[in-house]
Every structure is written in C-alpha cells, then in structure tokens.
C-alpha cells in the first residue's frame, strides 16, 4: 500500500485484516530453513554481536520487540505482535517521499537449545508487498566458542511495478537494510 502520508494505526489494522485472508506470493514456503529456491536473489547478513548468555538474551529480546526494524526510514508497524507462526505483520518503509506498507506472515519460529542455541523467525511476503520471498532473522549462541551472532537470510525478487522499474534502487535498499538492521540489534547490547 503506497501513500503520501504515514498510514494511521486504524488503516494499518484494516490493511493487516485484509492481508491476513490472503496467500503467500511465492511457493517455497519455509525455504529459508533449508535451501533458498532458484530464481530469487539471495542475501545473507551475518555479524558477531559479542559473547555469552547476556549478549544472547539481550539480542533475543531486541528481536522479539522487532528492533531490527527501528531504522528511521523503516519500522515494524506491529511491534506488539507476538513472534508466532501465522502472525501477520506490516513493515512500513519511507522512500522517495512515499510511505510503503508491506505485508508479511510469520512462516516459522526457531527456538532451540543445544551446542548451538538459536532463536529466530522467518516471514514471507503477502500480496501487498514490494517484493516476493522470505526473510529469516535469527540470533545464534555457539557454546563451543561462546560467540553470539545475528543472521539474516533472505530470498526475494521484485513484485510491484515500481520495484521492477527501480530494481537497482530496490537492491540498494535491501543491502542497506541488512547493514542497518545488524547495527540496530548491536545497539541493544
């Protein structure tokens, strides 16, 4: 949904209710957990956050509060949305003087303990989204060396006419998101 003004909470609520009834815009649902499909651009951002349980807990808390989207030009409009499979969320971006509301649904949640403790989730695009694909966000704590990592793995392709026409800008924005999202989580520590 494109607009010249920032959407109100009421319009976002209506938008999410409408999008919740719709299917994903791609067929490889859950592929960020295994192998991204052919025909999509794959992006991977990985950054070491620090070491130990305190860093892991703080980073997980940030992910649960959608802080990876607190970027000024981008925000999660559903910051109180629980991280659970099936939850529909809206990501609001501002670019070239326009507000762009993008709909996604959480595909799966990862919450496992072991030699590699991990928390995260992946969401996939719904029809009113600039792109088509899936994105996974995770925090990993490797007990072997005590390191804590933030990971984003995404596969996508443009879906909306404007993202197809402005594909180079679309790609720059995706790469910018990876860098700035990692920095946003890092600031929480």
Residue indicated by tokens 């957990």: 33
Helix or strand holding residue 3 (H, E):
strand 2-3
- So what's the pLDDT on residue 90? 94
When pLDDT is cut at 50, 70 and 90, the band that residue 172 belongs to is confident
With a cut of 90, say whether residue 159 has pLDDT above it: no
Which structural domains are found in the chain, ordered by start? 2-187 (3.30.530.20)
Residue indicated by tokens 């969401």: 123
- Tens digit of pLDDT for each residue in 48-95? 999 999 999 999 999 999 999 999 999 998 778 899 999 999 999 988
When pLDDT is cut at 50, 70 and 90, the band that residue 144 belongs to is very high
Contact 185, 46 (CB under 8 A): no
Q: What is the mean pLDDT of residues 102-118?
A: 97
Which range among 3-12, 132-141, 163-172 has the greatest average pLDDT? Answer: 132-141
When pLDDT is cut at 50, 70 and 90, the band that residue 130 belongs to is confident
SS3 6: coil
Whole-prediction pTM value?
0.92
Q: Tell me which residue of 33, 18, 8 sits closest to 134, measured CA to CA.
A: 33
For 59-88, letters b (16+ CB in 10 Å) and e give bbebbeebbbbbbeebbbbbeeeebeeebb
CA–CA gap between residue 158 and residue 168 (Å, rounded): 11
What mean pLDDT value characterizes the chain?
A: 92
When pLDDT is cut at 50, 70 and 90, the band that residue 181 belongs to is very high
Q: What is the mean pLDDT of residues 12-39?
A: 95
Residues pairing with 121 in the sheet: 109, 137
**For residue 17, what are the contacts with CB-CB under 8 A and spacing of at least 6?**
none
């Amino acid at each position: 949904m494109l607009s010249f003004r920032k959407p109100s909470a009421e319009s976002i609520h209506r938008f999410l209710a409408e999008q919740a009834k719709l299917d994903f815009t791609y067929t490889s649902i859950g592929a960020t957990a295994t192998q991204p499909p052919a025909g999509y651009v794959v992006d991977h951002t990985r950054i070491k956050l620090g070491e130990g349980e305190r860093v892991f807990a703080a980073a997980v808390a940030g992910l649960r509060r959608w802080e990876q989207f607190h970027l000024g030009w981008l925000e999660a409009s559903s910051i109180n949305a629980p991280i659970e499979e099936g939850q529909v969320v809206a990501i609001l971006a501002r670019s070239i003087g326009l507000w762009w509301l993008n709909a996604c649904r959480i595909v799966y949640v990862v919450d496992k303990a072991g030699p590699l403790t991990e928390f995260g989730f992946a969401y996939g695009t719904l029809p009113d989204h600039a792109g088509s694909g899936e994105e996974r966000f995770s925090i990993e704590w490797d007990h072997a060396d005590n390191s804590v990592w933030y990971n984003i793995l995404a596969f996508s392709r443009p879906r909306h006419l404007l993202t197809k026409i402005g594909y180079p800008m679309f790609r720059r924005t995706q790469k910018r998101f990876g860098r700035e999202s990692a920095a946003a989580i890092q600031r929480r520590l």
